[in-house]
């Protein structure tokens, strides 16, 4: 987009901008999910190091809750990836016989 002649062909430029936007919408959630997994790993380590049994039980409960949340988010992410092909955002006619 920084190339001097990028905007000389408006249709091609618009298509490229839309593609960049589409790709960013796929990449950004993945990067966020990656950070959440790193945080989860740190949470697991803290729970394992907890010495007090009462605090350890609470920490393990938090780990289990976070694990379930991340597993659900991963399922949603996989579905979104599955439905993110080039033509998946286009309209379609469906006929049921």
- Decide if 39 contacts 67 (C-beta within 8 A): no
Stated pTM of the model: 0.66
pLDDT recorded at residue 2: 67
The domain segmentation of the chain, as residue ranges, is 53-82
Residue ranges of the chain with pLDDT lower than 70?
A: 1-2, 86-89
């Amino acid at each position: 987009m920084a190339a001097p002649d990028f905007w000389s062909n408006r249709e091609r430029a618009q298509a490229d901008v839309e593609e960049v936007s589409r790709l960013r919408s796929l990449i950004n959630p993945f990067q966020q999910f990656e950070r959440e997994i790193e945080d989860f790993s740190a949470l697991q380590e803290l729970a394992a190091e907890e010495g007090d049994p009462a605090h350890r039980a609470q920490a393990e409960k938090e780990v289990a809750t976070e694990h379930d949340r991340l597993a659900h988010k991963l399922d949603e992410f996989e579905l979104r990836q599955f439905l993110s092909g080039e033509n998946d955002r286009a309209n379609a006619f469906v006929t049921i016989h």
